[in-house]
Structure 1
């Protein structure tokens, strides 16, 4: 069975949060602090993304996000499995309804008699 991972967002700096000082040294100190708060066993997967945030008026603002990957917990796996099961049951029900509809359409067609 494939092991699933979860992307944890550790820190976001941007328009909706307090952005760190613009001094490089201060920013690096803050990034280092965030890095050392990531569990040691997951630090190798840590990433930093620099993406613009666009508001509804089309203005863009800088956004910095730090994330890491970790294995999915048993509770998360159970929840994901429940959601998958629910989604597949819905798909199955829709397919059954479609088959019923198609059979009704076929039953309404005149039967061609062989001569």
Structure 2
């Protein structure tokens, strides 16, 4: 029970497993953090998994231009905001299929 109280004091929430041997803690959502994440993700209407590795889409009559590498970078910034330990580039590249599913839903509690 003391560990849980200490975690809450340090703003540490639940754990997520992103790959074998890669476990991260999610921050407890404060109003300030929620505002910061919402501002960063404003206008990003696609899931994280959809934007991985895509090229830029030029604008058409039906949709505006989408710069997928920029969207992916924005997601990485948001993950670094909500994960206590952050996510290094090396760790990011190691994230497996289950970890991608975890990351897809990770920001929902902040949005």
Q: TM-score range by the shorter chain?
A: under 0.3
Larger Rg: 1
Question: Whose helix proportion is higher, 1 or 2?
Answer: 2
Between Structure 1 and Structure 2, which shows a larger proportion of strand residues? 1
Q: TM (normalized to structure 2)? A: 0.22
